[in-house]
């Protein structure tokens, strides 16, 4: 039965090839006839534009009047070349000079007399010899040869376009990249920090290796698995690792690769993709960013006949139609599962939903170990401390951090990456590179220093705050004139009400320091205010931690794995009341943060003076000042402290445009500027970095 099926498929394929060849020949014949007709018509038109026919008797009169220089017999016509200066005038008054060829039809009975007459009057007569061509050869040159050339050029064009994935014959063809066998080059050894996701996919790999073990008891392989997670968590890498572990062909295509401007092309590409996959089953089909074609269908904008919905309908039909026993598995990845059509997510299509989340501490350590396999590392590198410092980072961030560290080591002329390279590169990833040519005034520099120390000191004096890791007043390319880096000591997955209020106080403490020391407000607190407002609104509208609204949810999350934004879905009156609660909460936290700084004003001045001098300090150095110890002896996540002579502050080259003032001592107090500052920080503001 299989042999008959294969024979029928071959017959159908041969029949399609023959039909295509006949169509190609028909087009070539039609084009050849058309070209010959146009060529003949063009010759006739051009000839009529440059020639004029006269009577035979007029030729005789011209010869007798010695007005003919030469007569040529060509193709049964007498072509006449008059003497220089002769102008022929016809019966209608039109004139023709030597630029026109005069001709007439010969009279065979008197051709000999005509020749004698021409010679007698000093003219010339000739007829060139033209060998006769075989009619068969003439037909082949005029018709067969152009047809062969047209067919050859057309077939060459189609082959080139087919190899490029385009052209007339491949509009409906799938342009999926195919990795045969283990050519993906990726296995589970190359994927770290996603142990739960890998465990969910191990069963699929085992089925592809040993399908009989499952089919013997009647079990069916899940047709599809949907990988969901934030950008950079490794969804595409995980899909390639599944194909590499299973050792089967791997079809990879993006969701946007199905959608074209022509209606029906996407559906045709879906059909072709599943047909090609069926030929090499068992195999894996991976559709990246499936939300491009899998969005929920609706009729709000003119019905469901557009290209995207037809493509989605065809995908649903194909996933229902193929036999799971053949071992065709569909993997898909998306950052927006909430917009996918319900029919796509029902059992029988994408049976499994696998969350690829941000890695925890152990996952980050394993990911760093994977990405540093081929990197030459110095002996002082401690990946455990780097994993602690990179809380909240995804796999792509860690890979970028390692690569930036290697580039930094090369720039500094080293042959191995050390601990300082890794930490500096991590800060480049989250905050950008240092802005070398920033012009900043002395007054602005003091305001920024107090602003950042306000964040750090408020965090240090609160019980539930995340510890400060680094404070800098060096401008960075991400728009921050300085930042305070907070990194947690341990993994936390929940935030209590006290944690949120502590975080809001810490964010608002920068503005409080400006008001307390300089009696002013600057634009540097813009990012702090945005984040504090977002936290306060979440506390009121989403987390049910407000006494007025209780456990009533006023907002709905729109994109959990992207920006995490949400929209309010309540009455306008309730929305207004919620805003009042947010304002009251922010004001209360602002007052509490200012009270903390007022109680610790002496330490605020000491730490700000040290930061003003060093421009970048660590959290350990700040705590040393609070405890009365020497801050220059503290290390930073494995980077040992160095003497002042070995440290070049990163922003020493920043231009100072105001009058210089005496540099405050490291342990002293900055000069008190109680008046209103004349200049405010540059646009872009200050950014507090927190993981």
The position carrying tokens 């872009």 is 684
Question: Quick one: DSSP state of residue 434?
Answer: B
CB atoms near residue 447 (< 10 Å): 28
Cβ atoms of residues 274 and 281 within 8 Å = no
Half-sphere exposure of 19 (CA within 13 A, CB side): 6
E strand spans, 614-681: 616-618, 655-656
Q: Whose CA is closest to 57, among 73, 74, 78? A: 78
Half-sphere exposure of 103 (CA within 13 A, CB side): 17
- Burial class of 549 by CB neighbour count within 10 A (0 to 12, 13 to 18, 19+): middle
Cβ atoms of residues 465 and 498 within 8 Å = no
CA distance 101 to 419: 93
Cβ atoms of residues 522 and 513 within 8 Å = no
The position carrying tokens 């919620």 is 578
CA distance 275 to 263: 20
CA distance 466 to 460: 8
Q: Whose CA is closest to 670, among 473, 459, 467, 503? A: 473
> Does 452 participate in catalysis according to the annotation?
yes
Q: Which two tokens mark 484?
A: 């305070």
Q: Are strands 51-53 and 101-104 parallel, antiparallel or unpaired?
A: parallel
CA distance 396 to 382: 20
Q: Please pick, among 452, 503, 514, 634, the residue that the annotation labels catalytic.
A: 452
CA distance 205 to 195: 15
Secondary structure of 396-438 in HEC code, one letter for each residue: HHHHHHHHHHHHHHHHCCCCCECHHHHHHHHHHHHHCCECCCC
Strand order in the sheet with 468-472: 616-618, 468-472, 483-486, 689-690
Name every residue whose Cβ is closer than 8 Å to that of residue 86 and which is 6 or more positions away in sequence.
67, 97, 98
Secondary structure of 165-225 in HEC code, one letter for each residue: CCCHHHCCCCCCEEECCCCCCCCHHHCCCCHHHHHHHHHHHHHHHCHHHHHCCCCCCCCEE
What is the phi/psi pair of residue 639, to 5°?
-90, 115
Three-class SS state of 250 = strand
What is the sign of the dihedral through the CA atoms of 514, 520, 525 and 528?
positive
Q: Which two tokens mark 624?
A: 């040393």
| Catalytic residue ranges | 452
């Amino acid at each position: 039965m299989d042999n008959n099926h294969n024979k029928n498929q071959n017959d159908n394929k041969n029949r399609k090839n023959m039909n295509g060849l006949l169509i190609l020949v028909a087009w070539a014949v039609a084009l050849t006839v058309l070209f010959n007709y146009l060529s003949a018509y063009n010759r006739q038109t051009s000839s009529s534009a440059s020639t004029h026919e006269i009577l035979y008797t007029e030729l005789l009169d011209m010869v007798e009047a010695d007005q003919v220089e030469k007569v040529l017999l060509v193709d049964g016509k007498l072509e006449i070349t008059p003497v220089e200066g002769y102008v022929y005038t016809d019966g209608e008054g039109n004139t023709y000079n030597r630029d026109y060829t005069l001709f007439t039809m010969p009279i065979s009975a008197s051709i000999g007399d005509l020749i004698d007459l021409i010679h007698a009057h000093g003219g010339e007569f000739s007829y060139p010899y033209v060998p006769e061509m075989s009619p068969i050869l003439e037909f082949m040159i005029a018709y067969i040869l152009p047809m062969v050339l047209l067919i050859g050029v057309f077939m060459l064009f189609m082959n080139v376009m087919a190899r490029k994935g385009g052209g007339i014959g491949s509009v409906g063809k799938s342009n999926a990249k195919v990795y045969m066998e283990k050519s993906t080059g990726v296995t589970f050894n190359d994927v770290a920090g996603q142990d739960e996701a890998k465990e969910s996919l191990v069963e699929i790999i085992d089925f592809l290796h040993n399908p009989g073990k499952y089919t013997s008891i009647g079990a069916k392989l899940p047709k599809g698995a949907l990988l969901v997670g934030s950008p950079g968590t490794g969804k595409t890498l995980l899909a390639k690792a599944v194909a590499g572990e299973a050792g089967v062909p791997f079809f990879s295509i993006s969701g946007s690769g199905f959608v074209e401007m022509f209606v029906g092309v996407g559906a045709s590409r879906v059909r072709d993709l599943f047909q090609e996959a069926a030929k090499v089953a068992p195999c894996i089909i991976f559709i990246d960013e499936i939300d491009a074609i899998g969005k929920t269908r609706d009729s709000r904008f003119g019905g469901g006949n557009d290209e995207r919905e037809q493509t989605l309908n065809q995908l649903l039909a194909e996933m229902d139609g193929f036999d799971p026993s053949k071992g065709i598995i569909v993997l898909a990845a998306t950052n927006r599962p909430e917009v996918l059509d319900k029919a796509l997510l029902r059992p029988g299509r994408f049976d499994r939903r696998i969350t690829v989340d941000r890695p925890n501490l152990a996952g980050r350590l394993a990911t760093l170990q994977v990405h540093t396999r081929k990197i030459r590392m110095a002996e002082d590198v401690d990946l455990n401390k780097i994993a602690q410092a990179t809380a909240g980072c995804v796999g792509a961030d860690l890979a970028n951090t390692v690569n930036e560290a290697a580039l930094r080591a090369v720039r500094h002329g080293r042959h191995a990456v050390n601990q300082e390279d890794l930490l500096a590169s991590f800060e480049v990833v989250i905050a950008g590179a240092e802005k070398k040519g920033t012009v900043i005034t002395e007054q602005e520099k003091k305001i920024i220093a107090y602003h950042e120390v306000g964040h750090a000191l408020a965090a240090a004096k609160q019980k539930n705050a995340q510890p400060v890791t680094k404070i800098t007043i060096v401008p960075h390319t991400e728009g921050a004139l300085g930042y305070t880096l907070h990194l947690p000591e341990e993994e936390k997955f929940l935030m209590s009400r006290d944690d949120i209020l502590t975080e809001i106080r810490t964010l608002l403490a920068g503005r409080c320091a400006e008001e307390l020391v300089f009696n002013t407000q600057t634009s540097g607190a813009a990012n702090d205010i945005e984040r504090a407002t977002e936290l306060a609104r979440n506390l009121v509208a989403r987390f049910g931690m407000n006494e007025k609204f209780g456990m009533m949810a006023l907002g709905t999350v729109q994109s959990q794995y992207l920006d995490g934004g949400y929209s309010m879905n309540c009455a306008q009156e309730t929305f207004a009341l919620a805003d009042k609660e947010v304002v009251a909460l922010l004001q209360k936290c602002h007052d509490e943060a200012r009270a903390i700084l007022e109680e610790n004003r002496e330490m605020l001045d000491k730490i700000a003076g040290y930061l003003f001098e060093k421009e970048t300090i660590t959290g350990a150095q700040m705590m040393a000042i609070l405890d009365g110890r020497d801050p220059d002896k503290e290390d930073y996540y494995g980077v040992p402290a160095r003497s002042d002579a070995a440290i070049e502050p990163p922003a020493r080259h920043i231009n100072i445009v105001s009058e210089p003032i005496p540099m405050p001592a490291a342990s002293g107090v900055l000069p008190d500027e109680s008046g209103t500052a004349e200049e405010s920080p540059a646009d872009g503001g200050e950014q507090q970095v927190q993981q």
